[in-house]
Amino acid sequence: MNSVWALLASIALIRTTLYNYLPEKLRLYISARFEEWTRRFNTDETMVFKDYQSSKMNQLFQAANLYLGESLPTISIPRVTVEKTENVRNLTFSMEKNTEMIDVYENIPMKWKYFSDYSQGMSKHEISWYELSFHKEYKSLVTNCYLPYILERANKIKERNRVVQLHTAARDFWTPKPVIIQHPMTFETLAMDGNLKKELVEDLDRFMNSKEYYQQIGKVWKRGYLLYGPPGTGKSSLIAAMANHLNFDIYNLNLSAVSSDFVLQNLLLSTANRSILVIEDIDCSIKLQNRESGIELPIKYQQQNKLMFLQVTLSGLLNFFDGILSCCGEGKILVATTNYKDRIDRALLRAGRMDMHIYLTYCTFSAFKQLALRYLEISDHSLFHHIEKLLPKVKVSPAEVAGELMKTRDPKASTEGLIKHLEEKVNLIADGNSEVSPKHHSSLSQTSNCQVHKSSISLPLACDGASMDNVKSPGPKPDVSVKSKLTADGEGDNNFEKTDLVRDRSSRHNILQVIEDMEKELLSYKEAIIALQKKSCGTLNKLAGIKATI
């Protein structure tokens, strides 16, 4: 025992002598040679993953944190940190400081150690790092296989634990604090035509599994969907189902709030990968009418000898969909919705911009059966055949059918209530007080740019400069007569003679819907007239200037 202590004392004396009397360069040289000599007898090799590398977060450190945290609940370890935040779905586990664990990859043990300390200097902050130790003969396997495997698994864990969030644009930027979406809609609970739903789900899954294929054929890994159809047919619910199915964040973009094409490009660049960008009511968010309509609206003006953009242009939106900036990022899905597909320029609808067009119509019998299964927990009933005959005769949205089914949970009473509701709508149609059958869709006139919608109220629209008094409604005779007289200065004085103004809630809803459509039409004509006035004034000023010079 005494000899051992004597040996240790001798080593300490030699170390002190070398440190005090030998030059620094010589000490470093001896120390390096000594480490090189001892390394020959060491069979292990160690890799260090610091939390930050050159002031940037180390992706390998983050990946190791997620990867090891998934294994911690299944192994025996003295201390484990457990957390749950609102931005993740499940509990998260992490190693405590100065602890270690063994991970097995292809029957090879990988020893992980976690360390944490505070940096030296004036501004002290916590620094963390992992140390991975393994036999040195497996260094190539670790570098080429194990570490890429950890990165891949970490990405899957992150996607699985992430909650769906809603981002909105404000003042040309996405809001810094997105809202967590807790919409319960899924494809299992969505009332939609069964074949169309299956086709859409297969298309989404095929897209998500085609990243390498897109790279192979030289295409950007993105997808575009156009949802169109009457109001209240489930377009927003379908978007929520898509987000929950893919576990993608939603970026909701209102084009009318975007000040320029440049801002639109910045918003596109700042959207996250694997997300859904939604443009609702694209036909009325900004005035991007079909170029075949012959109406041009102002998109720019002159200010201080510089060309300034008032709003997003059609060219800017086309570049937004499939221009060079759309190549930035991967796995992005664009969803546009509209009630009137024919009002959208064809250039926006072609493949590569809108790859799949999904028409959402009024409630069909297939959609009703899905609603009955969800709300009443029945797949068949003796009264179903009555509903099957009534649905094609009326325009009723899935939301309206769901509202009727929710009034009572008794299958027989609920089904009878829905039949009564549908029969009332059929009777109103027969009396000319409700909307016509879905088979009779409104269409564009072949001789004018005015779109006429058949409804319960005959609301004439002035087209091609014609007076509103000279336009006759093609619809059925209404219960409410609307008389409009245009004054000389262009303002209208509407006098309503009410005779049985509203017979039920359905009629009131139809009246309001037609009035809103008419207001949108008149607003678009007003803006077109203002544009023509500005253009005419500019032309007159130029002609006056030329005349003055002559």
pLDDT digits (tens, 9 = 90+) for 503-520: 444 456 567 667 777 777
How many angstroms separate the CA atoms of 281 and 335, rounded?
11
Tell me whether residue 485 is in a domain. no
How many angstroms separate the CA atoms of 540 and 529, rounded?
16
Tell me whether residue 346 is in a domain. yes
For the chain, the average pLDDT equals 75
Share of the chain above pLDDT 70, in %: 74
DSSP H or E run through 225: strand 222-228
387/423 same-domain check: yes
Domain that holds residue 223: 165-290+311-359
- Give how far the C-alpha of residue 244 lies from the chain's centroid of Cα atoms, to the nearest Å: 11
**Model confidence band, residue 29 (pLDDT cutoffs 50, 70, 90):** confident
Of 99, 134, 161, the domain-final residue: 161
Tell me whether residue 301 is in a domain. no
263/403 same-domain check: no
Number of independent structural domains in the chain: 3
Tell me whether residue 70 is in a domain. yes
Contacts of 267 (CB under 8 A, 6+ apart): 169, 172, 173, 174, 251, 253, 258
How many angstroms separate the CA atoms of 102 and 77, rounded?
10
**Model confidence band, residue 10 (pLDDT cutoffs 50, 70, 90):** confident
156/179 same-domain check: no
Tell me whether residue 333 is in a domain. yes
Kindly tell me if the per-residue pLDDT of 498 is higher than 50. no
281/399 same-domain check: no
- Give how far the C-alpha of residue 494 lies from the chain's centroid of Cα atoms, to the nearest Å: 42
Share of the chain above pLDDT 90, in %: 13
What is the C-alpha R_g of the chain?
35
- Cα of first residue to Cα of last residue in the chain, in angstroms, is 119
354/240 same-domain check: yes
3-state secondary structure 328-373: CCCCEEEEEEECCHHHECHHHCCCCCCCEEEECCCCCHHHHHHHHH
Asked if residues 434 and 507 have their Cβ atoms less than 8 Å apart, the reply is yes
202/257 same-domain check: yes
Of 400, 429, 458, the domain-final residue: 429
**Model confidence band, residue 225 (pLDDT cutoffs 50, 70, 90):** very high
288 token code pair: 């991007």
Asked if residues 82 and 75 have their Cβ atoms less than 8 Å apart, the reply is no
How many angstroms separate the CA atoms of 181 and 419, rounded?
35
Cα-flanking dihedrals φ and ψ of residue 218, to 5°? Answer: 80, 30
Asked if residues 89 and 161 have their Cβ atoms less than 8 Å apart, the reply is yes
User: What's the pLDDT score for residue 305?
Assistant: 38
**Model confidence band, residue 249 (pLDDT cutoffs 50, 70, 90):** very high
Helix axes 194-208, 235-246, angle to 10 degrees: 40
174/320 same-domain check: yes
Average pLDDT over every residue of 351-372: 88
251/323 same-domain check: yes
User: What's the pLDDT score for residue 527?
Assistant: 73
User: What's the pLDDT score for residue 288?
Assistant: 54
249/325 same-domain check: yes
Tell me whether residue 93 is in a domain. yes
348/395 same-domain check: no
Q: Provide the β-strand partners of residue 444.
A: 451
Cα-flanking dihedrals φ and ψ of residue 427, to 5°? Answer: -65, -40
**Model confidence band, residue 72 (pLDDT cutoffs 50, 70, 90):** confident
Tell me whether residue 514 is in a domain. no
Kindly tell me if the per-residue pLDDT of 299 is higher than 80. no
Tell me whether residue 446 is in a domain. no
258/349 same-domain check: yes
34 token code pair: 């000594």
Asked if residues 262 and 200 have their Cβ atoms less than 8 Å apart, the reply is no
Residue type present at position 22? L
The count of C-alpha atoms lying within 13 angstroms of the C-alpha of 136, restricted to the half-sphere facing its C-beta, is 7
206/261 same-domain check: yes
User: What's the pLDDT score for residue 144?
Assistant: 92
Contacts of 64 (CB under 8 A, 6+ apart): 49, 112, 130, 132, 150, 154
User: What's the pLDDT score for residue 307?
Assistant: 43
